[in-house]
Amino acid sequence: MTAPMERIQVLDTIEKDIVTCLHSAGTALMELSKEKSSLKQAESQTHLFLKTLGQVESKLTEQINYLTQVSTGQPHEGSIYASQKVLQMAWHRLEHVRSRLNELEKNKHRIQTRTVQRQQIPGHQDMNNQQVN
C-alpha cells in the first residue's frame, strides 16, 4: 500500500477512536443523569473515554509530527489542503470531546454532591422508604 493511503487509514482509525470517545462520554453522561445512576458504569465509561482520548491525542501528535517533517525543507509536490482539512476537523472533534469531558466531570461532581447531601439529611432514608411503601 502507498504511504498516502496508509496515512489516510491512520486518520480513519483516529476518527473512529474519536467516535468511540464521544460514545463513551455520552453513555457516561446518560448514566449520571439517571435518578439511580450506577457510578461503576459511569466510571467504566469515563475510563474508556480517557484511555481512547489519550490514544487519539498520541496518534494525532504522530500525524502532526509527520506533516511537519514532510512540509519543511522539501520541494512542493502538490496540495496538502485535503490533509490539512482532515487534521483540522480531527482537532475540532478532539476539542469537542474535551469539552464534553469537562461537562461530564461537572455533572459527576454535581451528582456526587447531591448524593452526599441526601445522605447527610437525617431521616432522608426513612422518607424514601415511606414513599416506596
Give the pLDDT confidence of 41-86 residue by residue, as tens digits.
Answer: 989 999 999 999 999 999 999 988 888 877 766 555 667 788 888 8
Q: Is 79 domain-assigned? A: no
The CATH number for 7's domain is 1.20.1050
Structural domain that includes position 33 = 3-73+91-132
Look at the block and give the residue holding cell 496518534: 59
Q: Is 83 domain-assigned? A: no
| Total count of domains within the chain | 1
Q: Is 15 domain-assigned? A: yes
How far apart, in Å, are the Cα atoms of 63 and each of 27, 87, 123?
29, 8, 58
DSSP track, 46-105: HHHHHHHHHHHHHHHHHHHHHHHHHHSSS---S--HHHHHHHHHHHHHHHHHHHHHHHHH
Q: Is 82 domain-assigned? A: no
How far apart, in Å, are the Cα atoms of 90 and each of 4, 9, 94?
17, 14, 6
pTM exceeds 0.85 = no
Q: Is 81 domain-assigned? A: no
Q: Is 18 domain-assigned? A: yes
